[in-house]
Homo-oligomer: A and B are copies of this chain.
Amino acid sequence: MAHVSLKDVATRAGVSFQTAGKVLNGKGRVSAATRERIVAAAAALDYVPNALARDLLSRSTRTIGVIATDFANDALAQHLVGLEREARRHGLLTIIGSVDAAGPDAARYVHALIERRVDGIVTLAPAVEDNPRLGELLRGRVPTVSTHTVAGGGIPVVTPDNLRSAYLPTRHLASLGHRRIGTVTGLRHRRVTHVRVQGYRQALADADLPFDPEAVEEGDWNVVEGGWQATHRLLDRRPDLTGLYVHNDAMAIGALAALRERGRRVPDDCAVVGCDDLPIAAWTTPPLTTVRLPFVEVGETAVRLLLAEIDERTPEPRPITLPVEMVYRASSGGRRVDAPVDPAPPVTTAEAGTG
Contact = CB atoms under 8 A, between A and B. Distances in A.
Interface of A: 1, 3, 46, 48-53, 55-56, 59, 61, 63, 70-72, 74, 77-78, 80-81, 84-85, 88, 93-98, 105, 109, 111-117, 140-143, 223-224, 228, 250, 253-254, 257, 260, 279-280, 282-283, 285
Contacts of A95: 63, 93-96
B116 A224 contact: no
A93 B96 CA distance: 7
Contact of A50 (B81, B93, B117, B260): B117
A98 B96 CA distance: 13
B117 A52 contact: yes
A139 to B, nearest CB: 11
A228 B81 CA distance: 26
A114 to B, nearest CB: 5
A77 to B, nearest CB: 5
A52 B49 CA distance: 14
A234 B215 CA distance: 46
Q: Specify the main secondary structure of chain A where it touches its partner.
A: helix
Given A116-B52, A254-B283, A96 B72 contact: no
B143 A1 contact: yes
A111 B51 CA distance: 11
A74 B49 CA distance: 36
Contacts of A224: 279-280, 282-283
B81 A70 contact: yes
B52 A253 contact: no
20 contacts: A1-B143, A46-B141, A50-B115, A52-B52, A52-B61, A53-B56, A56-B56, A63-B116, A71-B71, A71-B77, A71-B81, A88-B97, A94-B97, A96-B96, A224-B280, A224-B283, A254-B283, A257-B285, A260-B285, A280-B280
B115 A51 contact: yes
The 6 A-B residue pairs whose C-beta atoms are closest, nearest first, are: A51-B115, A52-B56, A72-B77, A224-B283, A77-B77, A51-B116
Contacts of A113: 93
Given A50-B115, A84-B96, A223-B279, 5 more contacts: A53-B56, A71-B77, A71-B80, A84-B98, A224-B283
A61 B95 CA distance: 13
Contacts of A116: 51-52, 63, 93
A159 B109 CA distance: 29
Given A1-B141, A96-B84, A115 B260 contact: no
A96 B93 CA distance: 7
